[in-house]
Amino acid sequence: MVSIRSRSSWGARSPRSRSTTSWSSRREVTLHYSYGPESQTPRQIQAHHMDGNGWSDVGYNFLVDSEGVAYEGRGWTVVGAHAAPRNTQGIGVCYIGRDGMTDAAKRTVIALYDEACERAGRALARRGHRDINSTSCPGSGNYSWWKSSNFRDVAGNGAHEPPKPGTSAPRYPLKAGHWFGPESADARNHSGYWSADRPHIRRIRDRLRERGWSVATGDRYDTELAGVVRAFQAEKGLAADGLVGSATWPVLWTAPIT
């Protein structure tokens, strides 16, 4: 079961009206992109749809951000407003961002698709918005990934089997003697205060999650993350300082997953 942030958890406004359909009417999962920055929030998209377009609610059934977090839009069986005239047949899933979905987002879209097929009791078609309307949505790269028979081949796909330990770790992104850790006055410490460090911290969090640790998404190195890193280090026989430096970084990828 894919974990989905409920409407109340992201502060959704109530719909002005809604109409439902049934699983027997569902035929396809339709991929979209928001064509906005990855930092766009479901609330902003909902406001645009309700106040700008005058719709009754956010148009999509689900939204997925670049970190792979799924948000409930209209949900599984409410008719959306995303790809007329196929909103009854199609479950609209919107990637919050542009062309070039992250692997984390792809994995979540696959998980939503699998759950939709399971609930429908049969395989649903994979469609892109451009299959239905004259639009570039969901972007050429996103579209060709979604339509490809290899769409499940996403790096680190942990949806159905535990990820294999990587054969090689990505290059350590910091200078020698620097590390990732919670905010500190030490100039060698990288907490995500500087935006250049944030993708790396997001990567540490993603990799820990792939390894089965319970870690929130995000791009800052907080004390909660330090606690998980400390436990990981202890398990792997590393110095358990809660910091990710050049010794801990590669082990996140190369150590066997236990």
Q: Interface with Zn ion by CB under 5 A: which residues?
A: 32, 129, 137
Q: Which is nearer to Zn ion, 107 or 127 (CB)?
A: 127
Q: Which is nearer to Zn ion, 113 or 221 (CB)?
A: 113
User: Closest separation between CB of residue 129 and Zn ion, Å?
Assistant: 3
Residue 28 contacts residue 91 (beta carbons within 8 Å)? yes
CA distance 9 to 1: 18
Which amino acid does the sequence have at 169?
A
Question: Which residue in this structure is represented by tokens 């064509």?
Answer: 35
C-alpha triplet 136, 141, 142: angle, nearest 5°: 80
Q: Which is nearer to Zn ion, 129 or 209 (CB)?
A: 129
User: Closest separation between CB of residue 69 and Zn ion, Å?
Assistant: 19
Q: Which is nearer to Zn ion, 106 or 129 (CB)?
A: 129
162, two tokens = 């535990």
Q: Which is nearer to Zn ion, 136 or 223 (CB)?
A: 136
User: Closest separation between CB of residue 223 and Zn ion, Å?
Assistant: 40
Q: Which is nearer to Zn ion, 7 or 129 (CB)?
A: 129
Q: What is the largest CA-CA distance in the chain?
A: 59
Neighbours of 235 (CB within 10 A): 13
User: Closest separation between CB of residue 138 and Zn ion, Å?
Assistant: 6
Q: What's the per-residue H, E or C state across 147-214?
A: HCCCCCCCCCCCCCCCCCCCCCCCCCCCCCCCEECCCCCCCCEECCCCHHHHHHHHHHHHHHHHCCCC
Residue 200 contacts residue 249 (beta carbons within 8 Å)? no
